[in-house]
Structure 1
Amino acid sequence: MGDFFYKPRDGWLADVIPFHEDGEFKLLYLKDWRDKEKYGEGTPWFLLGTKDFVGYTEYGEVLPRGGEDEQDLYIYTGCILKADGRYHIFYTGNNFHFPSQGKKQQAVMHAVSDDMLHWTKIPEDAFYAREDLYEVHDWRDPFVFWNEEAGEYWMLLAARLKEGPANRRGCVALCASKDLKSWETREPFWAPYLYTTHECPDLFRIGDWWYLVYSTFSDRTVTHYRMSRSLQGPWTAPADDAFDTRAFYAAKTWSDGQRRYAFGWNPTREGEHDYGTWQWGGELIVHEIDQRENGTLSVKVPKTVGAAFATEVPFEWSGVLGEWSLKDGNATASAADSFACATAGTLPDVCKITAKMSFGSNTRACGFVLKTDESLDRGYQIRFEPGRSRVVLDVWPRKGDIPFVVGMERPIELKPDVVCEVEVYVDGTVCEIYANGQIALSARLYDWKEGEWGVFVSEGQASFATELFER
């Protein structure tokens, strides 16, 4: 078990509701113990503080769940804002028992605070989906912002249209308010007939561009974004419309005034097994968001996270297959019609691997092996495939004809003889991969607990200038 990426000691972290003030990120999050018998039913909100995404202050539970007969037995995702010197939370009150009792499962609810630690719920401010427009039991994840142009507060919600193809009714609903108490439900903000639902909507602006962020579980289980020069749309999709893989979900964003970050979670898998069902909640993962010249977004590791791994660890290469030139941290092989691999000793449980990788023309694949052995019959591959312009995570042995771990794929432009800079962070079963300061690939490594790490090339030529760090 690792100890770098945050999770509560006695449970798991799910959706994060970020805020920044006085030099500190305040991260409200949904906590799940996965132990109803011991901790009871429902999910409350807890609060974390961090200045660097490395060290965290635990402020404890701040928004307690309601009882079994109350709307907010499960306090699901929402948002926080500060208005007139007071903090406001808008959150989802969810109760799975209510539909069978003829009550609505979900409502938007309101709480206020003067210090972010002690919150007062305002039950009379709760409101529900408008039944002529929306399905009544899907009304969640409110995100509130001040719309300067309209002169009012706007609230975006995850909702479902009342009519249309059942698996395409997902939409971003819109409500408006002058006082943060009374809300008018309007026509949907965005209803594209693309998904079952658009969870955890989030909205921000950089320069001339607005960005709409949301998460889905029907097309792909990922966090998407769309972009527009106007709040009225159209909301267009970039070529790569996701921040990460299946292993980074429900991301919401916030800025410290200089940089914007996406806060999501790397989910666990049932039975702690590589083929186990993905679960709700896991460890906190933070990506820094950059805007490219064309307005599209990229993600990279926050500088403070990279700097936390400062102790360089010496290692020695060992050629396992193929002919290698091995010296210090450098490894080069030519394997025009074969596979070549060199290993570098036992992979530490918590570490960072950095590499400047380049490859020759017509190279089929190259990359890294993790937690393998001398036979290379088990372990993981981080495989860059130039011909397919992608990087994937693979595991061996694997089932049937699945070419890599399902959902563990990210697009990336790869050019011969052009250096690709790679960072790999391993923290127990959590694996975070970044390339060229542009893309992230989050993953889990369960079945192989330990083993060696190294580099490989398949049907081509590749060179690696590699370093290994611990904290």
Structure 2
Amino acid sequence: MRSEIFFRPAPHWVGDVIPFSDGKRLSLYYLYERRTQPKPGTPWALTTTTDLVHYEDRGIVLPSGGPQAEDHNAYTGSIVQDDEGLHHLFYTASNPERLAADGRPLQLVSHATSLDGEHWDKHPEDTFGAPAGYDPADWRDPFVYRLPGEDQWSMILAARHAQGADRRRGVVARLTSHDLRRWRVEAPLWDPRRFVTQECPEVFRIGQWWYLVYSEFTDRFVTRYRMSRSPHGPWTAPAHDTLDGRGFYAAKSADLHGRRLFFGWIASRSGASDDGPWLWAGTMACLEASQNEDGSLSMSIPTEVLEAYGAPVAATSPTAAVGSREAYGATVLTDVLPDDVAVGVDLSWEPGTRETGLLIRTDAEGETGYIVRLEPVHNRLVLDRWPRRTAGAEQWHLAGDIPHVIELERPIDLSAGRAHIDLIMSHELLQCCVDTRVCLSTSVYDHPSGRLGLFSLDGATTLAGLSIRTRT
């Protein structure tokens, strides 16, 4: 097995991840994205792990059906194991040449079975499309589960009503089956009339709470969740309903030893540039969910991932205090760091401080690079950079109206006046977690190396603890 915190089948990419746990290891199926032209069909590939650090790449396990097949593209789905031990894989089958009435590719639900979870037999006779009242071009991402005490299976899908406002027709459709082959349409699980659709839906329980997790691209490109005391709803939103920001998409989860682990892809950007458009697919990453007292979820970087960085790197300034009530202050804490490190810091700031945080891959003056910024006045975590994209040659062409990477903004309560930050910088990948509850993941390209610094604006910030470690 290869030791790698973030998995990618280089030179190719990870699309939507479909986690499956047998209680001992995680089988992480994923959509295999090649980015070649002409576009090949999309297959499922597989990597496995027992410790979130070492991954064994098993290659393609569910191939594309080919250019003429209904499953030329085998898109997202789920896997369950029946009472006899047989694995059932449900996936989205689509072919760009097979079109619905509106000219978009049909989406169908297809079925395959396996004794070992790696060698699959497809059952095209079980394939079915959207029933009357649903859009036949939005019938995807089947998630199958069985509720405690029930002998029937449920399937939920990312679907759309056939009629209605175009951007508010998204519905989480629901079907039931006793044999995992014949499915009956039931009332929708959730019908918010808010999004174009809710992609990659899943349902699970922690304690007395049920969770419905989904990804959407209508209001924001983000993975969200809803909560209920019942697996049938009603589904309500917590105060902060996102798992991460724009950079961590299509996250789905599995239970391993009583832990809820989410796997998604950190999106890559066109041209390997901070200004490049976001691309579909990227590098696999993991976040762990924990339940708060009110049932809401906190997200963190798993302990195993942080502990994989076990070789200390000396800091030139392990403690520091910067800033004042009327000025900006900053200091550079280290020499140039390796390009794969984990950083842990403890910060505290005086009341009224407007901004504080870390300078990442910065220069010797603490001017260029990335900024992981806590904004107590706005109760948010953001990522900024300097220089920003400039619109021209004039002094005022500094993108001052784009104060940070807007799509990565994360809400967080900073009223305590202190925070612990865990940060991983691994080549172009950046993961940041504050107080093991709020995470920000993304790709960064334009500053591949540099130093670590501390800054504060309109108030003093004290650095009380600092650790910097590389992989062992």
Q: TM-score, normalised by structure 1?
A: 0.94
Shift of 1:60: 1.3
CA distance in 2, matches of 1:180, 1:100: 26
Aligned residue number for residue 358 of structure 1? 348
Instruction: Report matched runs for 1:253-402 at 5 Å.
Output: 253-317=253-317, 329-343=318-332, 344-399=334-389, 400=399, 401-402=401-402
Change beyond 3 A, Cα 1:315–1:375: closer
Shift of 1:90: 0.3
Q: Summarize deviations over 1:363-410 as a string: whole Å, max 9, x none.
A: 111100112223444211000011111110001122421110121111
Shift of 1:147: 2.7
Shift of 1:149: 5.2
CA distance in 2, matches of 1:232, 1:334: 52
Change beyond 3 A, Cα 1:129–1:85: same
Change beyond 3 A, Cα 1:416–1:334: farther
CA distance in 2, matches of 1:376, 1:275: 22
Shift of 1:415: 2.8
Shift of 1:26: 0.7
Contact 1:274/1:445 (<8 A) preserved: yes
Q: Which one is further off, 146-155 or 337-346?
A: 146-155
Q: Summarize deviations over 1:196-230 as a string: whole Å, max 9, x none.
A: 01000010011111100000011111100000111
Aligned residue number for residue 163 of structure 1? 163
Aligned residue number for residue 321 of structure 1? none
Aligned residue number for residue 43 of structure 1? 42
Change beyond 3 A, Cα 1:197–1:412: same
Report the residue type matching 2:107 in the other structure. Answer: Q
Shift of 1:416: 4.9
1:215 aligns with 2:215: yes
CA distance in 1, matches of 2:134, 2:129: 10
Aligned residue number for residue 116 of structure 1? 117
Change beyond 3 A, Cα 1:104–1:430: closer
Contact 1:360/1:416 (<8 A) preserved: no
Aligned residue number for residue 396 of structure 2? none
Shift of 1:296: 0.6
Q: Secondary structure at the match of 1:187?
A: coil
Contact 2:322/2:454 (<8 A) preserved: no
Q: Secondary structure at the match of 1:85?
A: coil
Contact 1:91/1:108 (<8 A) preserved: yes
Report the residue type matching 2:359 in the other structure. Answer: V
Aligned residue number for residue 52 of structure 2? 53
Q: Secondary structure at the match of 2:242?
A: coil
CA distance in 2, matches of 1:361, 1:416: 9
Q: Secondary structure at the match of 1:250?
A: strand
Aligned residue number for residue 420 of structure 2? 421
Change beyond 3 A, Cα 1:3–1:233: closer
CA distance in 2, matches of 1:103, 1:241: 31
Change beyond 3 A, Cα 1:100–1:91: closer
Contact 2:4/2:53 (<8 A) preserved: no
Aligned residue number for residue 233 of structure 1? 233
Q: Summarize deviations over 1:75-102 as a string: whole Å, max 9, x none.
A: 1000001002100100000112211798
Q: Secondary structure at the match of 1:305?
A: helix
Contact 2:322/2:331 (<8 A) preserved: no
Shift of 1:192: 0.7
Contact 1:3/1:427 (<8 A) preserved: no
Q: Which one is further off, 41-50 or 99-108?
A: 99-108
Aligned residue number for residue 320 of structure 1? none
Change beyond 3 A, Cα 1:56–1:174: same
CA-based RMSD: 1.6
Q: Secondary structure at the match of 1:434?
A: strand
Shift of 1:103: 9.2
Report the residue type matching 2:339 in the other structure. Answer: D
Contact 1:421/1:435 (<8 A) preserved: yes
Q: Which one is further off, 437-446 or 305-314?
A: 437-446
CA distance in 2, matches of 1:30, 1:103: 21
Shift of 1:18: 0.7
Shift of 1:231: 2.5
Change beyond 3 A, Cα 1:416–1:298: closer
CA distance in 1, matches of 2:326, 2:288: 39
Aligned residue number for residue 326 of structure 1? none
Q: Summarize deviations over 1:303-350 as a string: whole Å, max 9, x none.
A: 110110001101213xxxxxxxxxxx1111242211111112213200
Aligned residue number for residue 434 of structure 2? 435
CA distance in 1, matches of 2:281, 2:225: 21
Which of the two has greater strand per residue? Answer: 1
CA distance in 2, matches of 1:104, 1:284: 27
Report the residue type matching 1:117 in the other structure. Answer: E
CA distance in 2, matches of 1:69, 1:7: 29
Q: TM-score, normalised by structure 2?
A: 0.93
Report the residue type matching 2:459 in the other structure. Answer: G
Contact 1:249/1:266 (<8 A) preserved: yes
Aligned residue number for residue 99 of structure 2? 99
Q: Summarize deviations over 1:130-168 as a string: whole Å, max 9, x none.
A: 1x2101111100000113455311000001111111000
Contact 1:243/1:299 (<8 A) preserved: yes
Report the residue type matching 1:393 in the other structure. Answer: L
CA distance in 1, matches of 2:5, 2:112: 32
CA distance in 1, matches of 2:100, 2:337: 52
Report the residue type matching 1:119 in the other structure. Answer: W
CA distance in 2, matches of 1:338, 1:347: 28
Contact 1:225/1:242 (<8 A) preserved: yes
* Structure 2 stretches lacking a partner, 5+ long: 390-398
Aligned residue number for residue 172 of structure 1? 172
Shift of 1:22: 5.2
Shift of 1:55: 0.7
- Percent of aligned pairs with the same residue? 40
CA distance in 2, matches of 1:104, 1:389: 43
Report the residue type matching 1:197 in the other structure. Answer: T
Q: Secondary structure at the match of 1:155?
A: strand
